[in-house]
Every structure is written in structure tokens, then in C-alpha cells.
Structure 1
Amino acid sequence: MSMEVVPLQPPKCRHSSLSVTSSAHAAEVRYRRPTASQRAAAATLNGWRKKGTKLSDYSSTYPAPLVLPDDDLAVDPEYPPQSVRQWLEEEDRNEVTPKKNVVYVAVPPETEKDNDFIRIWTQPQLEGTEQAINMPSVQDLVDYLTAFYHGITVRLLPPPRLRFQSWNDGTGRTSKRTAKAKSAAPRQIGLDTAKGRFPIRTRASKDRLYERQFNLDDLLDAAIGILPDDAYALLLVVDHDLYEDEDDVFVCGRAYGGSRVAVVSTARYNPLLDGVQGVEREHAWPASHCEAYFQDCCDAAEPQQSAKKKVKAREAEPDRLEEGAETPLRAAVTAYTALPSLSSRPSVAALSSLWLNRVCRTGSHELAHCLGIDHCVYYACIMQGSSSIREDARQPPYLCPIDMAKLVRATGTDEWERYRALLGVCEKRCETHGFAAFGAWITARLAVAGGTNSV
């Protein structure tokens, strides 16, 4: 069964007012953000803030989590925070050492012609008129991660390349069996590696956007099995759709932090699926902080809310940034809106870069779990949990001050050199919305810092 693409609507919003606090829905689900004093203490190595120290206002650079209806923090508003001190004391956290200091990225496993049915499973089941777009380049992902994890070596996993095969085929040549397997949809295929063949379970996709899905836990187990001796971590990239347990519709990635492995799927980030999945490009980060968008999301989720309750919610006006305010968030939105709209006839190149940007953000997130960094509840941050593909698009690519402190400690990098490395990557893709916005955010962040080494 194929699904028809829902046309994306042309842009209508100017994002004139940006909210730097959580939505009104946050109070309704009883999400209580740590106070400014608690956030300042959480960023220190000893877990306390020196009495009398002036609190910095980071709101125009690091806004509060959105907490829109059905967001991860709206579903689990009491998720425990992880301070720098708690991170340091985490028993399962692995240190980067001189002997284990390389992050490897594995190119999506290839599929030979005799098992072409496995490759076909990477193609979304859509009926539409949009032109096919290029899958993200893994080398481009490596370049981005090299800057994001400045201080750690990031490189491609060396040959031989991983390969998907029919599980019972030791040679890769089972033409009759393969023909039957295609129609029978095998429940298990094999992942061939230099260290042997690993079984990977498959199942039919619940929402039928893809024909078959691979089991995430099996892929993670395989990643553990091929982890190089000098690896700090391994990120396995796959082009197939994934599931983790029978209740899942899909998952985009996961990390076994203690085992130092992560898997990320490119499948659901394909922009051609945005209409079907309800991903709104116009209000992706940084425009996700648009105040009008906040209100629309909250109103749409609670249509039965009483008029009195609605008025009361709107009286609690959030802090906002009006047009003209020179801040990192506003700079990011200005750069984002200066480019041609992604909602109305975007170019193939723009969509391809959008796809890459999404995979870069998820790859960054999952590898941070390998460093022991947990989900963030303090700020809008790349380390926030995500409960949907829609929420994923709304989250920022940067680390908040607390998670930045963890990264700097783990990698031994200099925060400002790291920003400059990321800026170099973003400037090479300044025609791309996500990269252009992040580059503008970094530039403004460096300007706000004024060359100092304090956050």
C-alpha cells in the first residue's frame, strides 16, 4: 500500500516574536524547570554556586525547553536532571583515554544484487510528484561530527565494508532462495562483518511508509561485536527504517552509552516524508521558538479547553524577543528566514541538505550518550529527549551550558575553538537553512562572549 504525500503549505509566519520560555502547556503538565540558581550550580564541577555570584541571563542564547503538547518533557515532566557533578560521578561513564580515543562512523551496509530486495526496503512507499533526493553523505556527517566533537578523532570505519545478506546465504548467491525471500519477507537477515555474520530481525512496518524494518537492538549488538580496539565509540548509520520493540511504530536511533555504540537511521528524516509525518519545515529550529506557533500548537491540542482557561493561559505572557533584538536566537531566525522557503517548491539541493542536517543533529545526540551525557531538562538543547519526528525538527543543534561543560571535560577541547570549527562547517553550507541558522547562532554567541572564556 502506498501513501500519498500531503502538500506542504507556503510560509505565512514572519516569526516576529520569539518566546524564550516554555509554552503555557508546560505548567498544565506540571513541568518545573530548574531555577536559574539551580542551573548555575548544575554547570559547576562541585555542584554548588558560590554565594553572591551574579546569575547570568542566558535566555536570549539558550531558551527554555519548548514543552509543547506531546513533547518528551510534556509526557515525562519529572525526568531527572543530570548536573555536571552527577555526570562525573556516573559509574557507567567511560573516559576518553589515549588507547581509546577514536570515534568511528560506519557507512550504511551495502547490499549485493542477489539480495536486491533488502535494498528496496530503503525506499519509502509514497505516491507523489517530488523529485528523488540524495541520501546524506556519511563523509559529510564525519566532517560535522569532527567539529562537534572537537578534540576527539572522528573517522570512517575502515574496510571491509559491512554488508546485508540473506541470513542462510554464505556466498551472497542464492537466486532462487532470494526470489522466494522477497515474496516471503524473511523475518531475519544477516549483517556480514569482518568479525562474522550477525542476525538482524525484520518486521513489516506498522504505518507502511516502508516495506520492512530492522530491529535496532540487533544492530546495536552487532556494533558492539565490531567495535575496534582503539575506538572510544562507534556510530553505525543505516538507510533502513528501524523498530525497537513491538509497540514502536519506528525509531530513528539509539545509543548503548555504557557499551559505546550508537545506531542512527536516515529513513524517517527523508524530507519527502514530511507531509505524511506532519513535520512542519516552517517552524523547525530556530523558528520553533515563534510565539504564535507556540499558541497554535497549544490551542490545537486542547480544542475543548474552556474560554476562561484559555484567557488565563494567555495572560501569563512569556518572555519574548521582538524583531530587532540582536541575540543569538534572533540571528539564527534571521538567517533561517533569509533563505528561500522550504515549504513551497524547495530545490532538490535544499532538501538534500535538510536531510543531512537532520542526520547530523541525531548523530551528535546519540554519540553524546556514549560520553555519558543524559537527556537535558534545563534548556532547549540538542540533548533533550524527543518523543516524535515532529519534536525532533524543533530542537536546536547546540549544547546548553551544562552539557557543554560535560563535553569540554570529556574531550579536553576548548569551547571557543570548538565553536570556530563548527562555524567553518556551517559556512561551507551557508545556503542550507539549518546550517546557516546554526552558523549565525555561533557567530552571535562568539560576539556575546566577547572573546572571553566564560559561559
Structure 2
Amino acid sequence: MPPRTKSKVCTHQNLIFTPSPHAHEAGYKQPTLAQREAAANPQGSLLLPSESGRQTPGPKESTFPAPLVLPDDELSRDPKYPAQSTRDWLMGGYRNTVTKKRKTIYVLPPPGCGVGSESVKGWTVPRLGKHGKHVKGEKDQREGWTERATEDVLGYLRAFYWGMEVKMLDVGEGLKFMRDGPKKEESPTLWLSTNKPDDLIGIRTRATPQGAFSHQLNLIDLLEFAIEILPQDAFALLMLVEHDMFEDQEDEFVCGRAYGGSRVAVITTARYNPALDVIQGVERAHAWPASHCQEYIQRCAQPRKKRQKMATVEEEQQGERVSPMRTAVTAHTSLPPLNLSPSSAAVSGLWLGRVCRTVSHELGHCFGIDHCVSYACCMQGSASIIEDARQPPYLCPVDLAKVLRATGADEKIMERYRALDEFCKRFSEVHLFEAFGKWIEGRLVELDASEVDRS
């Protein structure tokens, strides 16, 4: 559980780009810079000066920080998780390849509710209890995910996986949950129709009397459904769901999963609803990029009695340039605080940004990309909703090398960044996208400078 938000607004004056003090206690050790540079190279080794012209400096910590590794984070629980280099990824037999006949990422909007199952729509409404009005003046977000938001996810993926064709899957009159199926099931079941005549797939459900939602849908059944309707020309299919999900009876909930080898992913928007932030302990003020705030990390990583002085990271000045992370944090703090009285656009954008980060992560698994352990990265594993909010939307140098190779955009890194920046500019009131856009602009300046250095 993150520390309670204080009444004062944190300025995030000092930033930390190395693992937290807790990382050493947990047994995590970040790969060395040389190891990380080699991991980003398809040959699996460092390029010699004679091979690359003048040797360029490696990625800066103030652009690509290390994982935070705070208590209860994924890497804190499994600090020895093996790294996947670009060479490992290229050599892996599990990797799906984009081909001329299989080059489209499809997005399937959340299913509606058919005749006789109207009450199922109510399952998407969160139970807020005494936290129903936790932020003064904030619009109630219980109304649900919108069609416009699904279109925005589509636009984000077009930029993130630049070079791929990304489009909505045509399901005719729309996909709907139905109560009545071809056979009686032992457990409560909803039904979804496939693209085969008279073919229905059962989706198990369960009631959760003490949960944040009254009912949940079974994730495994939804993934099986996605496999069944996967178009022949699809590289991958992303299915969005508004309902809360569970994977097995021991789960409290699950936000999504990819069957990478089968090229399908299912994501729920339910738990990312800002209306649940207080109940779930999600820290808004220190969401990325402010998750690298020294004061916040110290409070999370060290009990008050054991706190030690942490080394402050000084900004690396290159002429008049400021690091992309500092620029991103400045953009984050320039907008009205999210824990006071945020605008409706800011709150809706907060929800959208969380979903966008997760869908880009899960689709990464469809490209055969494993969890990242070397950097703070979009492909990091996550152990909780709380950790989700702290992770960045960008890809680290290692995983970006994989995506560029997979999508055929090896020589188009600048175009990809510009496409993402263009998307972010549409959401100037949204903290995540405003910060991400400024990070991208700083990264583009660095890439331009490296080109000059090599000339």
C-alpha cells in the first residue's frame, strides 16, 4: 500500500533513476550498462568503434531509468527473473512473425448485452461505498467505458506499433452477451457468438458479494473465445472487456493476459476506473513519471525508523538541454493536481492512459517479448494496480529494438516517436500523455544529437 497522500502538493524536486534502496534487500541487481547495450544489439554483443563509426554513449539513466523495485513489486517478488535480450528474442522458436498475409492487429470492442441479459451491464458498475465521492468536484466515473475511448485505444496502438495495420474488428450487428446457450452449465454462464454459424462459447461467471464489482467473468474462457474468432489475416487480436475478471477460484481479480503464442490478448477496463483509486490504494500524484520522485520512493521503500539518506540524482546538463525525465515530470506538475479537483477530461484521460499502457504491454507478448528486468519499461511485469500506475508508457532500448524489428520499422524510430507525440498532443489535459509527449520530445533531441555526433 503506498503512503497516504499529504495535503501539500509534492513538487518532485529530486528524482531517482537507480533502483530503490529496497531493491538490494530484495536481491535485485540491475544488469550493467555494457550488458544492457549488448542486449539491445541483435548480435548480442557491443558494437566496436570500427563497426559503428564513432562510438556513441549508451542510454542515459535520466532518459531510461532503472526499475524502481519497491516492496511488493513484481521484481521484488522475483528478483532473479531472467532477462530476454534482442538476440534471445530473435532466436526464440516461440516468436510470431509478421507476414504479408498476417500483418493486422485487430481490436474487438467490449461486448454489449443482448435481450434477457440487460442486468449484466450492471455488473460493470463499481461498488464505491463510502468512497463514492472521494475527490471533491470529480465527475462520477461509474458510467462506464465509452465507444470514443475504444477508438482512442485504436489510435494509440497505431502509433505505438507504428508500421502495423491496426483496425477495429467488424462484428456485424455487434458482439453481445446472452443468457441462453445451447446447453445447461453447472456454473452460471454467459454466451458469446463466434464467427461460425450457430456456434456459441460459454463464459463462466461468478458472484463476488464482497468485491469491487458484483460479478466477474472468467478470463480463460474469454481468451478461448478470442482464439476462436481470430481472423485469418490477423497478426494479433486484442479484446477489450468492461467487466471485472478472474482466472481461477483463488484469484481476487485479474486485469488481463495474453496468450502470446496464440496471438490473442484480453484486457478489462474495469479496475483502471479512477473511481476505484482510493479503494485500491492507487497513488495519482506519484504516477509515472512522478513515481521517480525521491521523497516518494524513500517513503515507499524504507520504514520511517530505518530511513537512510538517499543519493540525489543531479540533472545532466548538455548545453541547454534538460533530461527527458525531468521534462516529463515538469509537464506532470504543470497540470492541476489529480488528487484535488481534476477536470472531467483529466479523469477520463487518466482511465484511458492506464488502459493504453496495459494493451501495449499485453500485445508485446504476442510479438514474443518477455517481461523487462533491465529498465523501467512498458514491458515490465506488474504485481498490482498500484505498481501499474508507477510504470512508464515507453519501451526501453532493448524492447524497442525488438518492436522495431518485428514491425519492420528498424529505420523508422523517429517516425514512430513522432506518431506517438502527435497522439499525445491530442490530450493536453491528461497528465500521462502530456508527460509522455514531453519525454518523447526530449528523446528526439537526444537522437538528433547522436546523429550529429556520428557525422
Change in CA separation of 1:275 and 1:320 when aligned onto 2, cut-off 3 Å: farther
* Alignment check: 8 A CA contact 1:163 1:193 kept: no
Q: In structure 2, what residue type is equivalent to 1:327? A: S
Aligned to 1:157: 169
Comparing 264-273 with 185-194, greater Cα deviation is found at 185-194
Deviation sequence 1:19-69 (CA, Å, 0-9, x none): 010100000011011101100110111111135656514211000000011
Which of 35, 38, 42 is the aligned partner of 1:38? 35
**Equivalent residues of 1:20, 1:321 under 8 A apart:** no
CA–CA distance in structure 2, aligned partners of residues 391 and 377 of structure 1? 14
Distance 1:30 1:8, change over 3 A: closer
Pair 1:18 & 2:15 matched: yes
TM-score (norm 1): 0.89
Correspondence 1:204-215 to 2 at 5 A: 204-205=207-208, 207-215=210-218
- Determine whether 1:333 maps to 2:329: yes
Distance in 1 (alpha carbons) for counterparts of 2:347 and 2:207: 27
Q: CA deviation at 1:246?
A: 2.0
Give SS of 1:190's match: strand
Q: Is the 8 A contact 1:381 1:399 kept in 2?
A: yes
User: Which of 239, 242, 245 is the aligned partner of 2:245?
Assistant: 242
1:247: how far off? 2.1
2-structure distance, mates of 1:374, 1:101 = 21
Q: Give the distance between the partners of 1:32 and 1:334, measured in 2 at CA.
A: 29
1:262 aligns with 2:265: yes
Runs of 4+ displaced beyond 3 Å: 7-11, 50-55, 167-170, 318-325, 451-455
User: Counterpart amino acid of 1:156?
Assistant: M
| Residue type of the alignment partner of 2:311 | E
Shift of 1:222: 0.4
CA 1:404 to 1:293, structure 2 compared with 1: closer, same or farther past 3 Å?
Answer: same
Matches of 1:445 and 1:206, distance apart in 2:
48
Maintained 8 Å contact 2:56/2:450: no
Report deviation, 1:135.
2.0
Q: Distance in 1 between matches of 2:59 and 2:359?
A: 29
Q: Does 1:194 align with 2:195?
A: yes
Residue 366, structure 1, aligned to residue 357, structure 2: no
1:319 is displaced (CA, Å) by 3.6
Residue matched to 1:4: none
Q: Which residue of 2 aligns with 1:174?
A: none
**Considering only aligned residues, what root-mean-square deviation do their CA atoms show, in Å?**
2.4
Structure 2 segments unaligned to the other structure (5+ residues):
50-54
Does structure 2 retain, via aligned residues, the 8 Å contact 1:11–1:344? no
Conservation of the 8 A alpha-carbon contact between 1:206 and 1:249:
no
Which residue does 2:436 correspond to in 1?
438
TM-score by length of 2: 0.89
Distance in structure 2 (CA, Å) of the matches to 1:57 and 1:150: 22
1:77 aligns to what? 79
Q: Does 1:219 align with 2:222?
A: yes
1:391 to 387, 397, 405: 387
Per-residue CA deviations over 1:112-160 (Å, capped at 9, x if unaligned) read 2521121111110113235323525111110110010100000000122
The aligned amino acid for 1:88 is L
Native 8 Å contact 2:316 2:323 kept in 1: no
Cα displacement string for residues 376-396 of structure 1 (whole angstroms, at most 9, x for unaligned residues): 011000000000000000000
Q: Which residue of 1 aligns with 2:311?
A: 317
Alignment correspondent of 1:173: none
* Cα drift, residue 106 of structure 1: 0.2
Counterpart residue identity of residue 342, structure 1: L
Cα deviation for residue 244 of structure 1 reads 1.1
- Indicate the residue corresponding to 2:377 in structure 1: 381
2:448 to 436, 439, 450: 450
**How far apart, in 2, do the equivalents of 1:36 and 1:215 lie?**
42
Indicate the residue corresponding to 2:52 in structure 1.
none
* Distance in 2 separating the partners of 1:359 and 1:388: 14
Q: Which AA in structure 1 matches 2:416?
A: R
Cα gap change, 1:433 to 1:155, in 2 (>3 Å): same
Q: Return closer, same or farther for 1:36/1:213 CA change in 2, 3 Å cut-off.
A: same
What does 1:67-216 correspond to in 2, within 5 Å? 67-127=69-129, 128-129=132-133, 130-133=138-141, 135-136=145-146, 137-160=149-172, 161-168=174-181, 187-195=188-196, 196-205=199-208, 207-216=210-219
Q: What fraction of aligned residue pairs are identical, expressed as a percent?
A: 50
Between the aligned partners of 1:113 and 1:342, the Cα distance in structure 2 is: 39
Whole-angstrom CA distance in 2 between matches of 1:427 and 1:124: 31
Mapped to 2, the partners of 1:50 and 1:125 lie a distance apart of: 55
Do the aligned partners of 1:255 and 1:369 also contact (CA within 8 Å) in 2? Answer: yes
Q: Which residue of 2 aligns with 1:344?
A: 340
Q: Secondary structure at the match of 2:167?
A: strand
Of 346, 349, 353, 2:349 maps to 353
Post-superposition offset of 1:322: 8.8
CA shift for structure 1 position 167: 4.1
Uncovered stretches (5+) of structure 1, i.e. residues with no partner: 1-6, 171-176
Classify the secondary structure of the residue corresponding to 1:450: helix
The answer to whether the 8 A contact 1:63-1:379 is kept is yes
Q: CA deviation at 1:317?
A: 2.3
- The secondary structure found in structure 1 opposite 2:217 is strand
Q: Is it true that 1:410 corresponds to 2:406 in the alignment? A: yes
Secondary structure at the counterpart of residue 383 of structure 2:
coil
Paired residues of 2:316 and 2:322 also in contact (CA < 8 A): no
CA contact (8 A) 1:9 1:344 kept: no
